[in-house]
């Protein structure tokens, strides 16, 4: 969609902005609105989420599900979607690092005899990629642990469940922390 040589004015057009901004909103609505009509949002341990009610009705044949039957399927699909998106971001970060390395390696043929090879851009890109991937992956780690347990049809003990739920409550606000820090640094540099 984005082509080499585009100017800022071309990127500011409403068509291009809509092409970048609408797909995430549409995907979020497609995943969050249908569970409302199937009564899949129910109380869990600490929060209301995609869950059946009562919470143990899927695993206990003596307890009938009164709401949100098959909600765990939707929950697993949502977590799998997040995991796949996270893995795609990591793959593209690795491809970016390899591209920068390739460009720096091509420029080695223009070095003078005895001149040291410079990989500063590759190193800088790699560290920035690691920070970005970590900022995206770490807050979702508890959810990925829940996903692994669910896919193995195992239940967590109360102690470990409480630990992962508290960790999730602590890490979830960090999703926007690095974006906010980056914006704050930009504003601080503009003032200085």
Question: Residue 101 in contact with residue 119, Cβ under 8 Å?
Answer: yes
Residue 88 confidence (pLDDT): 93
Cα Rg, the chain, nearest whole Å:
23
Residue 40 confidence (pLDDT): 86
For the chain, 192 residues long, give each residue's pLDDT as a single digit of tens.
456 677 777 777 888 888 888 988 898 898 888 888 888 888 876 677 788 888 777 777 888 888 888 887 888 888 888 889 889 999 999 999 999 899 888 888 887 888 888 888 888 889 888 888 888 888 888 888 888 887 776 767 777 878 888 888 888 887 777 667 776 777 777 765
Question: Which one, of 125, 119, 123, 171, lies nearest residue 144 by Cα?
Answer: 171
Residue 4 confidence (pLDDT): 67
Residue 3 confidence (pLDDT): 63
Q: State which H helix or E strand residue 124 sits in.
A: helix 120-137
Residue 17 confidence (pLDDT): 81
Residue 143 confidence (pLDDT): 83
d(CA 27, CA 22): 9
């Amino acid at each position: 969609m984005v082509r080499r040589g585009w100017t800022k004015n071309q990127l500011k057009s409403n068509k291009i902005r809509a092409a970048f901004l609408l797909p995430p909103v549409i995907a979020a609505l497609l995943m969050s609105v249908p569970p409302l009509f199937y009564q899949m949002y129910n109380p869990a341990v600490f929060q209301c989420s995609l869950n059946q009610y009562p919470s143990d009705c899927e695993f206990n044949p003596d307890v009938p599900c009164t709401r949100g039957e098959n909600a765990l399927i939707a929950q697993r699909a949502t977590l799998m979607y997040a995991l796949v998106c996270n893995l795609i971001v990591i793959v593209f970060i690795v491809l970016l690092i390899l591209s920068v390395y390739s460009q720096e390696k091509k420029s080695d043929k223009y070095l003078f005899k005895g001149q040291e090879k410079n990989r500063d851009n590759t190193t800088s890109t790699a560290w920035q990629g690691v920070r970005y991937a970590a900022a995206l992956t770490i807050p979702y780690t508890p959810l990925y642990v829940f996903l692994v347990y669910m896919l193995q049809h195992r239940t967590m003990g109360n102690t470990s469940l409480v630990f992962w739920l508290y960790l999730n409550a602590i890490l979830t606000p960090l999703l926007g922390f690095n974006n906010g820090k980056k914006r704050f640094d930009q504003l601080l540099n503009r003032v200085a």
